[in-house]
Amino acid sequence: MLLGLGIVLGFASIGFLCWLLFLCAVYAAPLFVAAMVCTILYDHGVLSGAHAILAGIAAGIVVLATGQAILASSRDPALRVAVSVLLALPAALAGFGTTLGFCGMGDMSAMPAYLFATFGALCVGGAAWTRLCAIQSA
């Protein structure tokens, strides 16, 4: 009984984490920029801990707002595709890492794990790119 419940809850938790990954994939680029700005400012001694975190959050917000403003206001398809791809690439990398981590939990050999991780990267990156392309220009 408890073994079956554990298996069901394990599959449900992996499904929930995948759903959360697809939902939050659009925000991978602003989060990456925020983390890098925070790390660089703190490591080089430019700002203290709290100030570096606030500067990182501000940088992430600027990236998100700029990307969405460009997608919402531009009618040029080349610019829209370029901005969408730039914002979706970190999501694809996050999908690769997440899928590779899930494969590592299942004791899978290297070649199938990397194949599944590549498929996961394509799925998550494609989902983020599709959500970004859905932003209509005014």
Half-sphere exposure of 52 (CA within 13 A, CB side): 15
Average pLDDT over residues 83-110: 87
For residue 65, count CB atoms less than 10 angstroms from its CB and return exposed for 0-12, middle for 13-18, buried for 19 or more.
Answer: exposed
Q: How far apart are CA 28 and CA 131, in angstroms?
A: 13
Mean pLDDT of the chain: 87
Q: Give the tens place of pLDDT for each residue, 13-67.
A: 888 887 887 788 888 889 889 999 999 999 988 888 889 999 999 999 999 999 8
Half-sphere exposure of 49 (CA within 13 A, CB side): 0
Q: Is 92:122 a contact under the CB 8 Å cutoff? A: yes
Per-residue pLDDT, 21: 79
Lowest mean pLDDT among 18-22, 76-80, 82-86, 117-121: 18-22
Query: Does the pLDDT of residue 91 top 80, yes or no?
Result: yes
Task: Tell me the pTM.
Answer: 0.76
